[in-house]
Structure 1
Amino acid sequence: MTDPVETHQTDPARDSQPERIASVAQRLHVDVVEHETATVRVRKLVHQEVVDIPVILKRRVVSVERVPINRIVNEEHAPRQEGDTLVVPVFEYVPVTELRLMLKEEVWMRFAETEETSVHRAEVQKEELVVERQTGKGDWVAVPETPSSKDGEQSAS
């Protein structure tokens, strides 16, 4: 070791030479060593349950009524719609002293729609993820759910 107290003499020849100062630098090197502290497993459970599903059933009911007309006409005409009723003409050629076309009858078909609400039972499946952690050789312990952040990473507790 050197003595902390130095005497410094001024030498004109020495003053003209540059002084040298020694510097010491330390470098730090850091490594990461992985060490397993626990094991995590994720299980997916599928639950089935029966739920009631409301549906609307539509039913179309057709009633048919035959209406006798027995009227002589000059020509046949096509079926026509009158509101919710479809009228289908039925023609017949009848012998008279001369042959004439007679509208024998009309078939009136009325359409009515009804709606009813019905409940059907259906089996649905729901999935659930269970995250468990095991430290050392111990038992598996469920990890409580942690809300996720916007970027999908779990928030720090």
Structure 2
Amino acid sequence: MSEKNEIPPSDDTEAVPILEEKLSIHRREVETGRLRVRLRTETEETQLHADLRSEAVEVERIPIGRQLAEGEAPPGPREEDEGRVLVIPVFEEVLVVEKRLVLREEIRLHRTSASEAFETPVTLRRQHAEIERLPPRATEETGKPNA
């Protein structure tokens, strides 16, 4: 006997082949179907409605001509008529023997508001997708669809 514990062949010994299977994996792409997508765009004419607001200022000059008393603080801007009129005092220094502050005039700014209806045509677009399922393409070799 040898070192590998092999049995020497003899006449009454039969050889048994030992087989081994190996696996090999390959991938291929197969078309199983197709899709066709069409986009359809619709347009719709509509009227846009909005109220547009504007403001205008009217200037009114009111002569005052009053001399301020000694030590009297000059009046500042003020609002009247619930904030629709802004009164801005205008002063002038007049040279006499002494300088005196004279309230020359007031400027009144009258606020008015107007609202106007506004319409304009507007084009709105909306798209819809139509999907159609198609069979797979036939192979060139067999003329049959891919499986």
TM category (shorter chain) comes to 0.5 to 0.7
Please name the residue that 2:73 is paired with.
Answer: 75
Partners of 1:55 and 1:120 within 8 A in 2: no
Please name the residue that 1:3 is paired with.
Answer: none
Structure 1 position 126, deviation (Å) = 1.1
What is the one-letter code of the residue matched to 1:80?
A: R
Structure 1 position 101, deviation (Å) = 0.5
Please name the residue that 1:111 is paired with.
Answer: 111
Structure 2, gaps ≥5 residues long: 1-31, 138-147
Deviation per CA, 1:55-103, whole angstroms, max 9, x where unpaired? Answer: 1101111111111111111332210000210000100001223221100
Secondary structure at 1:75's aligned position in 2? coil
Higher relative contact order (CA 8 A, sep 6+): 2
Structure 1 position 136, deviation (Å) = 9.4
Please name the residue that 1:58 is paired with.
Answer: 53
Structure 1 position 46, deviation (Å) = 2.2
Structure 1, gaps ≥5 residues long: 1-35, 138-157
Q: Distance in 1 between matches of 2:45 and 2:60?
A: 45
Secondary structure at 1:117's aligned position in 2? strand
Share of identical aligned residues, percent?
Answer: 32
Partners of 1:50 and 1:123 within 8 A in 2: yes
Report the count of equivalent residues.
103
**RMSD, matched Cα:** 2.7
Distance verdict in 2 for CA 1:99–1:136, change over 3 Å: closer
Secondary structure at 1:104's aligned position in 2? strand
